[in-house]
Amino acid sequence: MPDSDEWANYSNPIKTKSGGRRLRNKEMTVMKIENTTNNQRCGASVIGKRLLAMTLAIGLYCVTHSTSASDRVTFSAGVSEDGGFPGYAQLGYDPLIQAVFIINDGQWAAIPFYRDPAGVSADFNLVTQVDVPRAFGCASTVEGYTIISTSKDVAFHFHAQGPVAGFPLPTVYFVKYAELLTAIEDGELLIGELQSLPSLKTGRATFFQDNSGASLTDVSYLHFHANFRAEGFLDGDPQYSTFLMHLSAAGQGGKSSKTFLNPPLTEIRFGK
């Protein structure tokens, strides 16, 4: 991976309407991540790079005061700089497989939020996933921990769960998958765009649990696993009142031949 904070320049970055950079749908330029990370929190630079790659892939970023051979870092709900998810939602571009990861069953896409959507910056491109340090000013609606191991290969386990007493229920947005693909055709998805999609359903999770992990090199996953389940009720939906989302996946590999990944064994259901 490149030594600079611009992970790769597979094609020329394009300015977006919000003034940032976006990903080309066909060429899939990797986003330039602003160099705002505190080096003391992430340890050695090579570990920091690999951790950022993991973040974009499965939704993990380690913000710690030190990273040893094996570190467990807990994070709480609310506004905290002690760790947790470095963005807002589970949707984004993975630089190892060079594809966009979206939880979907082919008809519906699910976008689970680890943080309150009301705190998402209006100009932030959700496809880039990571928004450090701004995301840490947005209240997390889940709590959990990360376990980082750097003794041999870099490996991690990420656990997030909710709801948490005293905090809003975690939000899960559902939109038609084809509609979402059209919305991010230009490589950019702002929170306002997502919330204005005609098919949007807003779920409030009474159960929310993400268990994800991987071991990896700079260019591929030696192994990864993800088990993500959320269920609850839908806000003001005229047709359905409840939802269930369950993703289960495991495997290994590197660069994908696809622009968008279809996770296996994804279940999305709505009920009366």
Which residues, 6+ apart, have CB-to-CB distance to 175 below 8 Å?
Answer: 108, 109, 111, 194, 197, 199, 200, 201
- pLDDT tens across 74-124, in order? 999 999 876 688 899 999 887 777 788 899 999 999 999 999 999 999 999
- Does residue 6 lie in a domain region? no
pLDDT mean across residues, the chain: 76
pLDDT higher for 59 or 5? 59
Rounded distance, CA 14 to CA 20, Å?
8
- pLDDT tens across 219-241, in order? 778 888 889 999 999 999 999 99
Range of the domain at 239: 14-271
Length of the chain: 272
pLDDT at residue 172, as a whole number: 98
- Does residue 185 lie in a domain region? yes
Burial of 140 (0-12, 13-18, 19+ CB in 10 A): buried
CB 79 within 8 A of CB 138: yes
pLDDT at residue 261, as a whole number: 57
pLDDT at residue 240, as a whole number: 97
pLDDT at residue 71, as a whole number: 78
Q: How many domains does the chain have?
A: 1
Cα torsion for 100, 105, 111, 113, to the nearest 10°?
-110
Per-residue pLDDT, averaged over 23-48, amounts to 32
pLDDT at residue 249, as a whole number: 85
pLDDT higher for 214 or 76? 76
- pLDDT tens across 158-206, in order? 999 999 999 999 999 999 999 999 999 999 999 999 999 999 999 999 9
- pLDDT tens across 239-259, in order? 999 999 999 988 877 666 666
- Does residue 196 lie in a domain region? yes
- Does residue 1 lie in a domain region? no
- Does residue 210 lie in a domain region? yes
- Does residue 73 lie in a domain region? yes
pLDDT at residue 154, as a whole number: 81
Q: Is pLDDT of 12 > 80?
A: no
pLDDT at residue 199, as a whole number: 98
- Does residue 7 lie in a domain region? no
pLDDT at residue 83, as a whole number: 64
pLDDT at residue 60, as a whole number: 42
Whole-prediction pTM value?
A: 0.76
pLDDT higher for 129 or 271? 271
- Does residue 9 lie in a domain region? no
3 state SS for 79-143: CCCCCCCCCCECCEEECCCCEEECEECCCEEEEEECECHHHCCCCCCHHHCCCCCHHHHCCECCE
Rounded to 5 degrees, what angle do the CA atoms 236, 238, 239 make?
125
Rounded to 5 degrees, what angle do the CA atoms 266, 29, 118 make?
60
